[in-house]
Structure 1
């Protein structure tokens, strides 16, 4: 097992939130692609794409889902609006939503011919799901890069497989090696960068002190298989560059829906050269 990384030294700049900011503002750094709380045009597009991808993935029939994605991801409300009962695992009581929303993002339609499901928030550790019995969920959502933050991802995937019912599915999003290499380069971690593409395990330090695990599509597929799951597909979360998105939406803010549809088609035909990878897998049975 090969690990990369050293204590981060370089701080990165945050993107401007001023809509009147000069168009020649500095380009976002790689760390920008993990700052999901950024109010930038790109992140508005990113989460619209994520909502559409989740809507496509959700089971057709109402079921019981477990959401491990944390409070930064608002997919639970979308799943509830589509008729599913959702257990959202949160790190603390303070992270619980104040109220249940039936709609989160208007850019990805939900089923309107179905009674909304129920949302239950539970405080617990998303690394080990010991508080849940085996084979009790029809689906597990692990979006928002949560499994990249679990450095021993193998254990997390084994737990996900355990709580899934036979035939149940999981949707997950992780950091890619492409992103990891970009972050290492920004921090001048050249020795680590030299063997990063071939590392069995790539752990990347971030300027804020966090460490995440990055994957190639092949590595992610192997881990899912080793956990006893059948890989359905792996695709990039987004293909369009931040500069392209910001240029299009800067010229026409109403083009978001069209841009999302373009992204979904591009991602379906793309490879794993992306900052984040999205995967779906099924438990046999």
Structure 2
């Protein structure tokens, strides 16, 4: 069964929350990155700077982008290299910043990569929500990961999808969401996002041959809570990020879910 609705994109949370969410995402990524020097494939959406963060941590990173996609400014132009170069660069020999290369591939396709060539895959900025046939992409992620390799992914949640439906007064679609196998929310610009509950996200990865280690919201604190606390104590930003990272959370809350899965 499929539930869908037309919706108008929200203008986004307050600037304080955007800054907070970005800081939390960086911290979560740094905590997930393997120790030592690893080969990382980054298939994140165009707004992510995960590849730069991983390279700065000393890892060898291949950034896969869609044709015509402009990467974030932090990753260009020095970090870019032609797609004709070797798609999986060698491990760096010294500590410090690792090499970061880019390749354009249709739909974040990984067919050009060898089996078991990566220690980790990053799928930030809603890649598995934008890629509607996410099952095929997860199968490719599992194929390119070495045994024990991990994937870190962030997706739009059912909470987000249901909020959009409610804001647009799509009550019949909203009622269908809990029983839907796939929830697709199309926007006026003709893009579509696929929203996941925790069980749907777990099934996506296990059916692709991966074992899920954990699922949690990107953030537990709401935009209103973040803005309120920072207005009261402007110097508490770092402490607020630390509190978010330590918070025990129900995976049914939050506009986005993040998950870590591994190839056994």
SS at match of 2:3: coil
Q: Deviations over 1:43-78 (max 9, x none)?
A: 100000000000000001211000011331011111
Is 1:120–2:101 an aligned residue pair? yes
Quick check: 2:217–2:249 contact (8 Å CA) kept in 1? no
Shift of residue 269, structure 1, vs aligned partner = 4.0
**Equivalent in the alignment of 1:36:** none
Whole-angstrom distance in 1 between the partners of 2:69 and 2:158: 33
Seen in structure 2, the aligned counterparts of structure 1 residues 13 and 179 have a Cα distance that, compared at 3 Å, is closer
Is 1:65–2:7 an aligned residue pair? no
**Equivalent in the alignment of 2:18:** 43
Quick check: 1:176–1:216 contact (8 Å CA) kept in 2? yes
Whole-angstrom distance in 1 between the partners of 2:116 and 2:79: 26
Is 1:5–2:4 an aligned residue pair? yes
**Equivalent in the alignment of 1:197:** 178
Seen in structure 2, the aligned counterparts of structure 1 residues 209 and 187 have a Cα distance that, compared at 3 Å, is farther
Quick check: 2:5–2:165 contact (8 Å CA) kept in 1? no
Please list, as runs of the form range in 1=range in 2, the aligned pairs for 1:152-171 lying within 5 A after superposition. 152-171=133-152
Range that drifts further, 124-133 or 80-89: 124-133
Whole-angstrom distance in 1 between the partners of 2:42 and 2:187: 25
CA RMSD in angstroms comes to 2.0
Selected match of 1:98 from 77, 84, 88: 77
Seen in structure 2, the aligned counterparts of structure 1 residues 100 and 251 have a Cα distance that, compared at 3 Å, is farther
Quick check: 1:127–1:155 contact (8 Å CA) kept in 2? no
**Equivalent in the alignment of 1:74:** 49
Q: Deviations over 1:117-169 (max 9, x none)?
A: 11001111244311212111100000111100111111110010011111110
Whole-angstrom distance in 1 between the partners of 2:197 and 2:258: 11
Whole-angstrom distance in 2 between the partners of 1:198 and 1:5: 12
Whole-angstrom distance in 1 between the partners of 2:9 and 2:107: 29
SS at match of 1:138: strand
Aligned residues: 247
Quick check: 1:161–1:228 contact (8 Å CA) kept in 2? yes
Quick check: 2:157–2:255 contact (8 Å CA) kept in 1? yes
Quick check: 1:5–1:189 contact (8 Å CA) kept in 2? no
Name structure 1 gaps, 5 residues minimum: 15-31, 34-38, 102-112
Name structure 2 gaps, 5 residues minimum: 81-93
Is 1:280–2:253 an aligned residue pair? no
**Equivalent in the alignment of 2:197:** 216
